[in-house]
Structure 1
Amino acid sequence: MRIVIAIIFIFIHLASFAQVNRIEPLNWWVGMNNPNVQLLIYGNNISKKTVRIDYPGVELIKQQQVENPNYLFLDLKIHPDAKAGKVSLVFQEKGKKDYVKAYELKARDAAKRALQGVDASDFVYLIMPDRFANGDPSNDRIKGMADQSLNRDSMYHRHGGDLQGIINNLDYLEELGVTALWLNPVLTNDQPLTSYHGYANTESYYVDPRFGGNEAYRKLIEECHKRGIKMIQDLVHNHFGTEHFTVKDMPMKDWVHQWDSFTKTNYREQVHMDPYAAKADKDIMLNGWFDRHMPDMNQHNPYVKNYITQSHIWWVEEMGIDGFRLDTYAYNDLGFMAEWGKAIDAEYPKMTYFGETWVHGIPNQAYFTKADKISQGIDTKLQGVTDFQAYWAINEALNGNFGWMDGVVRLYNTFASDFMYEDPYRNVVFLDNHDLSRFLSVVGEDFNKYKSGIAWLLTTRGIPQLYYGTEILMKNFASPDGLVREDFPGGWKNDKANKFTAAGRTEKENEAFNYVKTLANYRKNNPVLQDGKMLQFIPEDGIYVYFRYNDDKRVMVIMNSKQESVKLQTKRYQEGIGQYTQATNVVTGANIENLDELDIPAVSTQVFELK
């Protein structure tokens, strides 16, 4: 009996003092451009406490109670003379002993931001971490997490890929010519189902332990930076997962958008720019939930705005992130995104970010970008977009009809509309990604079309992005999307073949890999294909010709979308050719002694460096 009483006494004693379960951000820094930071304090009835701070250079501006007594929000100002160290947060309540929590202020590390900024000089490689490589089988399942699935035969279950698996294969990526990695979200996703993809995060400051946690992420970024490879973090402003602690126990009722009954977004970006849009339609687009397990965050709520923005700044400062990809951009409140952009730019002038704009029509896409030319009225600060218009155009160029409006005309027309962007070179061009059918399948497994698309990707304007496995001819259609999220062969110990090595690839796979590698490394070493100017000619009879040029070099790209080879008379393109008389085929190395007439094989894109 005495033992039981003692245990109860100890439990009550601890409960009365251990009020704080979380403080977020986990830490902060001295010397930030914005001296203000808002701490979210979470704990049982923590609002009963008052907080005192006595630390030189740190001022508690305001303590804010909200509807839920389990939350306190502390507004701190960190003055320029503040030093790095442990700040004591003293929680006080009448009749109870003071409770002290240490909050760390760190010194900033400028070296982490040495590579910051992803631009047209980069070649981005997109990885879904759960499906790339399993470098640490010990973290395949984590006790206590909701999703305990581990089944590589199921497209909906976890497969065990992790960040160590990526680290183990950095040599492969470096050989391919990759200069930046974009990982699908790595934050903890403790949802009970389909948690592998990461787009319903349940934590804001922790990498999923099944990927290796924060330390594995730090190690990956450090190893990438040693090789000159940048890290792009995938951010989701629009929604959290339903298991996020701030959703399960919300600070206030309007933390997320709530409806009388479940209301899904209508997925119609047109309401942003439609001069006749019904307010009801716009409300559903912006405030409806993306899915049942993805509650829509209320981006008009100042606490939500601070919580989201500060978490993103934290990842940059803590880990050395070089760029952001912003998920489901069109579903966000554009006023908030403008505020977010200003906050990021103020701390990191070299930081770049691009938004997913899965929309239809060039004006609709340009509408969301920074200082656009079509008068949307809000400078969202969005520097670039995932260029879906170019994606649909290259597909039509390779698969479309021929005649007066042949497929390549849409490609030409798309780039002719680049006047709508402040800088179209900041747009990310791609052939496929984790939501789309794989490129090889889209072109009917036609290897010539595949190579033609790769050549376009690595020579056109913008930032090229390759989806993992495209270089080894992975295929499938996105119906459902899990089919295009298969494991990279060789990423698991007992895989039958290791496609990370030339010996493990078939002859055709090696041809594809080497084709990508050759063009990507040529691009990497020749700024003319990065920030060089572009000159294009109106397509004729299925032939599309464009040039990339600067003061040092000139590259001529010829896309023949027809099923037969052509002898191309080049007099029409003299403006691009200029005084050059010879050329070298960038892929084959073959020399061309006479530029007056060029043999262009059927269904191919030829890349020539003019001499």
Structure 2
Amino acid sequence: MKLRPALTAVALLLAGLACHGPSADASRYPVDTTTIGPGQQLESAPGWYADAVIYHVWVKAFADGAYSDGIGDLPGLQGKLDYLQSLGVNTLWLSPIFECDNKGASMHGYDTTDYYAVNDRFGTKADLKNLIDAVHAKGMRILFDFVPNHTSTKHPWFTNAATRDSWYIWNAGQPAGWGLPWGGGTPQDVWRSGASGYFYTSFSTDTLADLNFYNPAVQAEMQKVQAYWLDRGFDGMRVDAVRYLCEAGPGQQADQPDTHARLRIFRSLLDEYNTGDLHPHPGGDPAKHAAR
């Protein structure tokens, strides 16, 4: 039985590493990030993220632009770049912007149904390209929220029998000893009834299912997703539920060596792009990523 965890552990992989505090070596990071004037460029160095001033944008609630529907969107965010830059911000971290299941009042975006599509409540891929280009034109950078730990149970990978059984984590029953990855809970919280038995979910819900990171096909697909958006101009990513990619058993659902190994793979791909230069992309090895 292959196992793997979830939850919303928060880690930033900015151009490839967890976010640290400001560097003590001021000579290495000469840009004064407390005041970023129009057109001022971030330092072109692989360690740019160590001194970045990062603003987390909850896109849904930030600025309603072109669509005037009461929901924040990508054109609305683009229209606020001067304001954000005036605050000293030089890096934007977007909340999840990809297609998801719940698009109602409680829409959060962590229930992905398509990793390669932009949530149509926020705009189009053209809107996203315009935003990324505008961010870079101001010498700023932009990060996406990467949610590899789990998908919506409405995702085609979960509804299609060809991928459902091996891409997710299943058990014939609700085995004793299991609970929530962060402590407490019962087997019934994390093992939910589905088409192939009981599927594992870190979030005690019938609507999210953990992906099986012991399956090489899942690992390869998540790297493909990562490269797809880096190739389109994102400068890095925040990784959701980063502690819970692999479960070794009950009570061993966080910070496992197998999880760390998967994160090193994500990091190695980010390092291909982390030249320190502002984009546009593609970055890394264009030939390697051409098929994505």
Cα deviation, residue 196, structure 1: 2.2
Cα deviation, residue 349, structure 1: 4.2
Cα deviation, residue 225, structure 1: 0.5
Cα deviation, residue 237, structure 1: 1.4
Residue type of the partner of 1:215? A
Is the Cα contact below 8 Å between 1:136 and 1:164 reproduced in 2? Answer: yes
| Counterpart for residue 169 of structure 2 | 257
Cα deviation, residue 193, structure 1: 5.0
| Counterpart for residue 136 of structure 1 | 66
| Counterpart for residue 169 of structure 1 | 80
Q: Radius of gyration: which is bigger?
A: 1
Cα deviation, residue 346, structure 1: 4.4
Is the Cα contact below 8 Å between 2:243 and 2:259 reproduced in 1? Answer: no
Q: 1:250 to 1:116 in 2, by over 3 A?
A: farther
Deviations 1:151-200 (A, max 9, x none): xxxxxxxx411011100111100111101001111111133655621111
Whole-angstrom CA distance in 2 between matches of 1:259 and 1:175: 53
| Counterpart for residue 185 of structure 1 | 96
1:304 and 2:234 matched:
no
1:226 and 2:137 matched:
yes
Whole-angstrom CA distance in 2 between matches of 1:250 and 1:115: 46
1:241 and 2:152 matched:
yes
| Counterpart for residue 268 of structure 1 | 182
Within-5 A mapping of 1:298-377: 298-317=212-231, 319-333=232-246, 334=256, 335-346=258-269, 348-349=271-272, 351=274
Whole-angstrom CA distance in 2 between matches of 1:294 and 1:196: 14
| Counterpart for residue 285 of structure 2 | none
Q: Unpaired runs of 5+ in structure 2?
A: 1-43, 192-199, 247-255, 276-292
Whole-angstrom CA distance in 1 between matches of 2:138 and 2:93: 15
State TM-score, norm by structure 2: 0.62
Deviations 1:34-88 (A, max 9, x none): xxxxxxxxxxxxxxxxxxxxxxxxxxxxxxxxxxxxxxxxxxxxxxxxxxxxxxx
Whole-angstrom CA distance in 2 between matches of 1:269 and 1:222: 43
Cα deviation, residue 309, structure 1: 1.4
Whole-angstrom CA distance in 1 between matches of 2:125 and 2:161: 25
Q: 1:261 to 1:322 in 2, by over 3 A?
A: same
Deviations 1:556-604 (A, max 9, x none): xxxxxxxxxxxxxxxxxxxxxxxxxxxxxxxxxxxxxxxxxxxxxxxxx
Whole-angstrom CA distance in 1 between matches of 2:46 and 2:155: 30
Whole-angstrom CA distance in 2 between matches of 1:122 and 1:249: 42
Is the Cα contact below 8 Å between 1:313 and 1:344 reproduced in 2? Answer: no
Q: Unpaired runs of 5+ in structure 1?
A: 1-113, 141-158, 271-279, 353-611
Which of the pair has the greater relative contact order for Cα pairs under 8 Å at 6+ separation?
2
Is the Cα contact below 8 Å between 1:269 and 1:330 reproduced in 2? Answer: no
SS of the equivalent of 2:210 reads: coil
Whole-angstrom CA distance in 1 between matches of 2:130 and 2:167: 34
Quick one: percent identity of the two aligned structures?
Answer: 29
1:198 and 2:112 matched:
no
1:292 and 2:215 matched:
no
SS of the equivalent of 2:51 reads: coil
SS of the equivalent of 1:188 reads: strand
Is the Cα contact below 8 Å between 2:167 and 2:212 reproduced in 1? Answer: yes
Q: 1:341 to 1:194 in 2, by over 3 A?
A: farther
SS of the equivalent of 1:119 reads: helix
Cα deviation, residue 211, structure 1: 0.7
Residue type of the partner of 2:79? N
Within-5 A mapping of 1:485-504: none
SS of the equivalent of 2:78 reads: helix
Is the Cα contact below 8 Å between 2:63 and 2:77 reproduced in 1? Answer: yes
| Counterpart for residue 56 of structure 2 | 126
SS of the equivalent of 1:137 reads: coil
Cα deviation, residue 120, structure 1: 2.4
Within-5 A mapping of 1:461-472: none
Is the Cα contact below 8 Å between 2:53 and 2:89 reproduced in 1? Answer: yes
| Counterpart for residue 494 of structure 1 | none
Cα deviation, residue 121, structure 1: 1.8
> RMSD of the alignment, in Å?
3.1
